[in-house]
Chain A
């Protein structure tokens, strides 16, 4: 009951902020439509919908880090978290309460992205459902980043780091805006040492029915998500027991 009440509060805080909806769902859709329009007018296949939809789905998830980080940071800076720390809520109530509402939001983002992609020519088949499942580890990765950022930074800093830096870095290094093979070299090596390109490639593999290629990419994302989540939990618990 305690956990559900707290999770419900966090869901309301997230969904009632129009900026969250605008950036989380609206902005990725605009980018999807824009790049599809560009593709329609160029002779090379740079933004075909099978490549673009997985990239935009992962790009949309990066805003989840921003949402979760801002909610936690605001709770900290307004003393609301102090009030909750003085209540019988346990550490696990806090962590699950902040995490649970974000997962359905992330899946909803994916659904909206793929529905829009159907209108742009993405084949409507069961592989899209598989792609939604594949998006869960990247969603957990971004939720963990948000939890970590919200535990350490102010809401303004979260806005800068997760809103500007993370969304851009994760998009540039994901291979969504351009094929990483075109750049190659150190850029490509860095991109594939990080989880974002793997998240896009795993989703791409799912959507194109290339099942054997899913897990080799997804393990990278799962590994990063697990490490980030553990760090976030440790930092949050430390903050909970600290004097600040």
Chain B
């Protein structure tokens, strides 16, 4: 079953086309990576799918619910970790997590329990009582991702989740994403090609607002006659011939 199915999804800002007639199907429980250079349309696509911005044309069904006609229902089953760290600065780590859990409908008791679990999963116990504004950028990002997961979304949008994380924290997040696969549908945007290769079941490459290719890393390499995934990506993103 498809978790996400878009038909002609388009976003224009004036005359500029940010996303052009995107037709995409993402299977439930898989991790899908959306790659592209800056301005390719990845973040705009995520914003449309998570009901943060309205498409100019087309529609997308999120587990059978339309982003146009049922945005509240879509919001209840999705969650987003934005590109920039998004935490409440004067709230503690625990309070941030409890806030998001209750906003997504958890009772006080359930919010506490879920928070405790997230604190364990993300190794946040040492900073649990600290105000989030006092945390380093890496810890804030870790918290930001935990906040995206605490609502137990069926679809999770991760917009460049490992940006600013050190190698260890990045590997830890990879491990968490691996554990989520099969249970949660993950849509990941990243500039790290090895990350997309390691984590995702399928990869889509966007350029100039259009989906240029879709497939597994191996399929994309084969389709462009490239020898490495990086070469394949460059070929698809620039429309040039792959280096043999």
A interface with B by C-beta (< 8 Å): 1-2, 5-6, 9, 12-13, 16-17, 74, 78-80, 82-90, 241, 243
Q: How large is the interface on B (under 10, 10 to 19, 20 to 34, 35 or more residues)?
A: 35 or more
Is the pair A86, B80 in contact by a Cβ cutoff of 8 Å?
A: yes
The answer to whether A74 and B147 touch (CB under 8 A), given A1-B102, A243-B13, A243-B53, is no
Highest count of chain A CB atoms <10 Å: which of B47, B79, B89: B89
Look across to chain A and name the residue whose beta carbon is closest to the beta carbon of B72. A88
B25 beta carbon closer than 8 Å to chain A: no
B180 beta carbon closer than 8 Å to chain A: no
Is the pair A5, B90 in contact by a Cβ cutoff of 8 Å?
A: no
Is the pair A2, B103 in contact by a Cβ cutoff of 8 Å?
A: yes
**What are the residues of chain A within 8 A of B99 when measuring CB–CB?**
5-6, 9
Report B56 CB to chain A, min CB distance, Å.
10
A79–B90 Cα distance when bound, in Å, is 15
A90–B75 Cα distance when bound, in Å, is 11
**What are the residues of chain B within 8 A of A74 when measuring CB–CB?**
89
Is the pair A83, B104 in contact by a Cβ cutoff of 8 Å?
A: no
Is the pair B88, A88 in contact by a Cβ cutoff of 8 Å?
A: no
Tally of A-B Cβ pairs under 8 angstroms: 78
**What are the residues of chain A within 8 A of B208 when measuring CB–CB?**
none
A17–B88 Cα distance when bound, in Å, is 12
B interface with A by C-beta (< 8 Å): 13, 47, 50-54, 72, 75-76, 78-80, 82-91, 95, 98-100, 102-105, 107, 131, 147-148, 151
For A79, give its contact among B50, B78, B84, B105 (CB under 8 Å). B84
Look across to chain B and name the residue whose beta carbon is closest to the beta carbon of A80. B86
Look across to chain B and name the residue whose beta carbon is closest to the beta carbon of A14. B90
Look across to chain B and name the residue whose beta carbon is closest to the beta carbon of A3. B103
**What are the residues of chain B within 8 A of A87 when measuring CB–CB?**
75, 79, 100, 103-104, 151
**What are the residues of chain A within 8 A of B104 when measuring CB–CB?**
87-88
**What are the residues of chain A within 8 A of B72 when measuring CB–CB?**
88, 90
Report A178 CB to chain B, min CB distance, Å.
38
**What are the residues of chain A within 8 A of B103 when measuring CB–CB?**
2, 5-6, 84, 87-89
Question: 11 A-B pairs, CB-CB below 8 angstroms?
Answer: A2-B103, A5-B98, A78-B86, A78-B89, A79-B82, A80-B88, A82-B52, A82-B82, A83-B86, A88-B76, A90-B72
**What are the residues of chain B within 8 A of A78 when measuring CB–CB?**
84-87, 89
Is the pair A86, B75 in contact by a Cβ cutoff of 8 Å?
A: yes
Report B73 CB to chain A, min CB distance, Å.
9
State the 4 A-B residue pairs at the shortest beta-carbon distance, nearest first.
A5-B102, A79-B86, A79-B84, A16-B90
